[in-house]
Amino acid sequence: MVLNYIWIAFFLIAFVVALCKLIFVGDTAVFTDIINSTFDSAKTGFEISLGLTGVLTLWLGIMKIGEQGGVIQAFARLSAPVFSKLFPEIPRNHPVTGSIFMNISANLLGLDNAATPLGLKTMQQLQELNHEKETASNSMIMFLCINASGLTLIPLTIMMYRAQLGAANPSDIFLPIMLATFSSTLFVVLAICIKQGINIFQRNLLLFFGGMFLFIGGVIFLFNTMEEGVMSLYSTLFANFLLFSIICGFLIAGIRKKINVYDVFIEGAKEGFHTAVTIIPYLVAILVGIAVFRASGAMEFLIEGIRYGVASIGINTDFVEGLPTILMKPLSGSGARGMMIDAMKEYGADSFVGRLVSVVQGSTDTTLYVVALYYGSVCVRNTRYTVSYSLAADLVGAIVAIAMTYLFFS
């Protein structure tokens, strides 16, 4: 329902802003820009789905081998002590628990190509347990909000962009990003636990959260002891080694179970093609709404309004130049990335704004894209409170990102 209101608001606000620009500024090209943006974004939505087809086909085929080889069930047993508390609706040791574990692990390591197919597979398994097929279950909401919070340990892509744009130390945003993204994830998990009546003071959950703090602290310590080039080399090597090890491990497990791994792979791969086709209308819808909002000039109008309001009460306005990236991040990953690069080009990669947009880019994921992609894959229409809680996590991530940038770089 929230997504429905947001989508309608994109078009209505865009129309009002564009009409004002036509009447008061004489911008005769504004409606042409809006219509062109709808065609471009519709094409982009299709191309994204088409691009996902190969990756989905590969990983859902591998996942099918893992299921029949017993690996997913092993992951389910490993993660059951914690996930049985966060996802009480899921039967104990159900295979979906293993899929959740693999998806979250892939996200932590920044393995986007693997995380998305694993996430879509998880949503399909959760849908099988869902009694109301068009309404998101509690487990779906918890899983999706964790994904939307975007917890990633090592933001290699952002550091790569900073290096290309001349940053003296591209990895200096690592610790601020870590603190911001962990804050957004912790917030949304605790908020949903309270909403769903989950006792957060259970022993296993307390140990899990405490372990997360210790693990992240250890990663930060390890990072600070390495030179930039060495850290980037080892983290990339580890990620690729892990991915290929998973593939080989699943194949070996399938051979031990004496299954025809090739036929099983083909069976799972067919699901990948079907899923890619299913999500096309959902992606096109949300991307067109976002494009219309941007093309109308509503984004610039909103930012200038915030700048005026902040300045009028005497607050430092340095962060305002990073607002385009902050506001775009929940709407469009590629849009936020483009704005981040533009800001670093204009102000410098090592400027306050350049570092701020880098931290913001790594603090959360693209909420509306994730919602449209994951729920669209299983045809869930009523997302309940998913969007509102995910956007609240985005807000927390953005606030902490701004605070950390002031703390570390002002």
Please give the Cα distance from 329 to 379 (Å, whole number).
24
**pLDDT above 60 for 31:** yes
Q: What percent of the chain has pLDDT over 70?
A: 91
**CA-CA distance, 14 to 117, in Å (whole number)?**
33
Report residue 357's pLDDT band, with 50, 70 and 90 as the boundaries: very high
CB 273 within 8 A of CB 57: yes
What is the DSSP track for 25-85? I--TTHHHHHHHHHHHHHHHHHHHHHHHHHHHHHHHHHHHHHHHHTHHHHHHHHHHHHHHH
CA distance 58 to 81: 30
pTM of the predicted protein model = 0.78
pLDDT tens, 151-210?
Answer: 776 676 787 778 778 888 787 887 788 888 888 998 999 999 999 999 988 888 888 788
Q: Which of 372, 409, 400, 391 is nearest to 188 (CA)?
A: 391
What DSSP state is assigned to residue 153?
S
pLDDT at 391 over 60: yes
Rounded-to-integer distance, Cα 292 and Cα 288, Å: 6
Structure tokens at 103: 């998806």
pLDDT at 110 over 70: no
SS3 382: strand
Name the one residue in this structure whose structure tokens are 């996200």: 107
Please name the residue that has the structure tokens 């998913």: 386
Provide the 3-class DSSP secondary structure of residue 135: strand
Residue 349: DSSP 8-state: T
Cα 52 to Cα 32: distance, rounded to the nearest angstrom: 30
| pLDDT value for 63 | 80
pLDDT digits (tens, 9 = 90+) for 269-322: 887 777 778 878 887 888 788 889 888 988 888 888 888 887 888 777 788 888
225 vs 162: which has the higher pLDDT: 162
- Sign of the C-alpha dihedral, residues 4, 7, 13, 19? negative
Whether 407 has a pLDDT exceeding 80, the answer reads yes
Residue 209: burial class (beta carbons within 10 Å; 0-12, 13-18, 19+):
middle
Exposure string over 24-40, b if 16+ CB within 10 A, otherwise e: eeeeeebbebbeebbee
Contacts of 306 (CB under 8 A, 6+ apart): 320, 323
Instruction: Give the per-residue pLDDT at 62.
Output: 86
The per-residue pLDDT for 236 is 58
At 388 the pLDDT is 93
Separation between Cα atoms, residue 171 and residue 173, nearest integer Å: 5
The rounded percent of the chain whose pLDDT value lies above 90 is: 30
Give residue 390's pLDDT: 94
Q: Which of 49, 44, 45, 48 is nearest to 276 (CA)?
A: 49
Q: State yes or no: pLDDT of 136 exceeds 90.
A: yes
pLDDT at 50 over 70: yes
Q: Please provide the average confidence, as pLDDT, over all residues in the chain.
A: 84
Highest mean pLDDT among 66-80, 117-131, 234-248: 117-131
Q: What pLDDT, on the 0 to 100 scale, is given for residue 187?
A: 92
Instruction: Tell me the three state secondary structure of residue 106.
Output: helix
Evaluate if residue 112 carries a pLDDT over 60. Answer: yes
Q: How far is residue 364's CA from residue 180's CA, in Å, rounded to a whole number?
A: 8
pLDDT at 220: 65
| Contact call for residues 226 and 220 (beta carbons, < 8 A) | no
- pLDDT score of 274: 79
Q: State whether the Cα torsion 359-363-365-367 is positive or negative.
A: negative
Count of beta carbons in the 10 Å neighbourhood of residue 93: 15
pLDDT in tens, 258-272: 899 999 999 888 877
For 297, residues 6+ apart whose C-beta sits below 8 A from its C-beta are: 17, 18, 21, 30
* pLDDT over 90 at 144, yes or no: yes
